[in-house]
Structure 1
């Protein structure tokens, strides 16, 4: 499975209905699970982003579809980063020669 870091901000609509946010998170977790992925960590954050999720999915296309489906709801905007674990990081650096 590939790891992804998802940076999330509420839209105006999403923050107006913030009390429903936990239910939307549960629905998002269920959706990603049905797509073959999972949430590994989730954080409410202070600063530039409102929330951060660490997720795993079979491939980039699954995560792209997932982000687009979430965006269609109009409650959040996401930025998704593909994450390389430490072992991959070391292999990439070692391959530089």
Structure 2
């Protein structure tokens, strides 16, 4: 399945209720599963983003549905990227010569 990396910032509502964040994390994991994906990794970060999570999803549509579902909860703003594994990267590069 394709991999997606989501960079996340708490909204004022989200940071104001930060003690509820672990519960929201569990809900985000359930959302990934609901759309056929699997939550792979999670990190609390500091700097421009507060949280980073990595999920595998069946396709771009499922990833968008999951991110939109989490975002409409109002606690976070997200920026999501399609990520390529090393093997996928090598296939992309190999495809250039032909």
Q: What band does the TM-score fall into relative to the shorter chain?
A: over 0.9
Cα distance in structure 2, aligned partners of 1:51 and 1:32: 16
Aligned residue pairs: how many?
97
Cα distance in structure 1, aligned partners of 2:23 and 2:61: 25
Q: CA RMSD in A?
A: 0.8
Name the TM-score, length of structure 1 as normaliser: 0.96
Secondary structure of 2:79 counterpart: strand
In the TM superposition, structure 1's runs of 4+ consecutive aligned residues that sit over 6 Å from their partners are none
Superposition deviation, residue 14 in structure 1:
0.2
Secondary structure of 2:46 counterpart: coil
Aligned residue runs from structure 1 range 1-97, under 5 A: 1-97=1-97
Cα distance in structure 2, aligned partners of 1:88 and 1:67: 23
Name the TM-score, length of structure 2 as normaliser: 0.95
